[in-house]
């Protein structure tokens, strides 16, 4: 059994004469949660520490507030660490979030800067998403994982996860933050795709846009050479004629691929702590260029050193919450085609952690 620490973010003040209660701030509660949970014991003096979060996309409005990330950064500094705030590039080559330059620009637009975070922003998988350390895994779906190089090279990782729903993984918790957020572009491809792209000769106009964008020079005579393909999906983005066929994965398969990538990350980086923020629990991931209404009220913040225990506890608390009126998912908790329980059970099968937890409330 693993400990999962929890603090509610409610501030139930009903007396106007008692309005000034700074200890009720979610920021103050986060500080206390970190202190009393001891999750930052993974940080030693002088350690280079990655604070892993998600900056969202252009148009996203419900990502984690920068003040929470700054609070974690300050606690890392207090523990003697040297923090940087990090994310990885997205799948593709053309959208802003697909390169380090675009990621940082979006981060700044969404309020994440060196000044607001008190730490530099470093994109963990390099300029285009191909800086990685490759490790072997023996999974149902994958035989190797490309771990973002800065994640592999740093001394510890603090995952600051905006817990929300996801239209492929079911939920975006700490497992997804590691399994997707800490791997380079080719492993993101392996999570989402069952095969290499293919060019439909009947639809292809030979405009050469896919040839120009391909970083691996893998398109030869308007066919994709699998030996050269670097798995970026840039060709599909560049084609305006639907000539590049892609093979997306859904349901339990994508959940299991995320778990296998998490297993790969753990092979090269073992120093993790996890903070799940159960706030603004939207029906879509923060990689969508919009944010719908939350599905349930804000629930609180959790802390643990066990990735599976914290996600299990987060899912349990979310299941118990009452759906908000007007929410997109009115009568159900998850997207029908996703498999949250499959992801959690497979994570336990691969020994990433335990679903058996003790919830300790920090008042």
Domain-wise residue ranges, the chain: 2-12+22-193+250-361, 198-245
Closest CA to 237 of 91, 58, 92, 90: 92
What is the torsional sign of CA 234, 148, 280, 84? Answer: negative
Band of pLDDT at residue 327, cut at 50, 70 and 90: confident
Q: Give the pLDDT of residue 22.
A: 96
Residues whose CB is less than 8 angstroms from the CB of residue 206 and which lie 6 or more positions away in sequence, other chains included: 222
Digit-coded pLDDT (tens) for 165-184: 999 999 999 999 999 999 99
Digit-coded pLDDT (tens) for 49-90: 999 999 999 999 999 999 999 999 999 999 999 999 999 999
Digit-coded pLDDT (tens) for 131-161: 999 999 999 999 999 999 999 999 999 999 9
301 bridge partner residues: 7, 277
Q: What is the DSSP letter of 110?
A: T
Q: Give the pLDDT of residue 332.
A: 84
The CATH topology of domain 198-245 is: Alpha-Beta Plaits (3.30.70)
What is the torsional sign of CA 330, 313, 264, 133? Answer: positive
- Number of Cβ within 10 Å of residue 14's Cβ equals 6
In contact, 235 and 94? CB cutoff 8 Å: no
Digit-coded pLDDT (tens) for 234-275: 999 999 999 999 999 999 999 999 999 999 999 999 999 999
Q: Give the pLDDT of residue 329.
A: 86
pLDDT over threshold 90, residue 330: no
**% of the chain surpassing 90 pLDDT:** 98
Q: Give the pLDDT of residue 325.
A: 81
The CATH topology of domain 2-12+22-193+250-361 is: Rossmann fold (3.40.50)
């Amino acid at each position: 059994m693993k400990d999962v620490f929890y603090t509610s973010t409610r501030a139930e003040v009903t007396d106007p004469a008692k309005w000034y209660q700074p200890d009720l701030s979610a920021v103050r509660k986060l500080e206390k949660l970190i202190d009393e949970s001891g999750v930052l014991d993974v940080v030693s003096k002088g350690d280079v520490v990655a604070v892993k979060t998600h900056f969202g996309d252009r148009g996203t409005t419900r990502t984690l507030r920068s003040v929470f990330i700054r609070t974690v950064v300050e606690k890392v500094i207090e523990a003697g660490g040297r923090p940087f705030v990090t994310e990885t590039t997205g799948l593709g080559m053309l959208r802003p979030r697909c390169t380090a330059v675009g990621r940082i620009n979006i981060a700044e637009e969404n309020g994440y800067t060196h000044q607001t975070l008190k730490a530099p922003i470093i994109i963990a998988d390099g300029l285009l998403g191909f800086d990685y350390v490759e490790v072997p895994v023996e999974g149902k779906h994958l035989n190797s994982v490309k771990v973002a190089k800065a994640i592999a090279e740093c001394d510890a990782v603090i995952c600051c996860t905006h817990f929300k729903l996801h239209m492929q993984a079911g939920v975006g918790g700490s497992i997804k933050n590691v399994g997707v957020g800490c791997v380079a572009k080719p492993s993101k491809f392996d999570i989402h795709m069952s095969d290499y792209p293919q060019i439909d000769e009947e639809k292809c106009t030979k405009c050469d846009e896919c040839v120009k964008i391909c970083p691996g020079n893998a398109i030869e005579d308007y066919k994709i050479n699998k030996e050269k393909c670097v798995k970026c999906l840039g060709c599909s983005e560049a084609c305006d004629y639907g000539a590049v066929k892609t093979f997306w994965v859904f349901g339990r398969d994508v959940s299991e691929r995320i778990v296998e990538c998490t297993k790969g990350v753990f092979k090269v980086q073992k120093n993790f702590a996890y903070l799940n923020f159960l706030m603004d629990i939207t029906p879509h991931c923060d990689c969508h260029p919009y944010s719908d209404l939350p599905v349930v009220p804000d629930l609180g913040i959790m802390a643990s050193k066990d990735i599976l225990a914290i996600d299990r506890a987060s899912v349990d608390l979310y299941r118990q919450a009452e759906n908000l009126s007007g929410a997109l998912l009115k009568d159900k908790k998850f997207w029908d085609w996703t498999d949250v329980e499959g992801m959690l059970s497979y994570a336990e099968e691969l020994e990433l952690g335990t679903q058996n937890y003790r919830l300790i409330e920090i008042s």
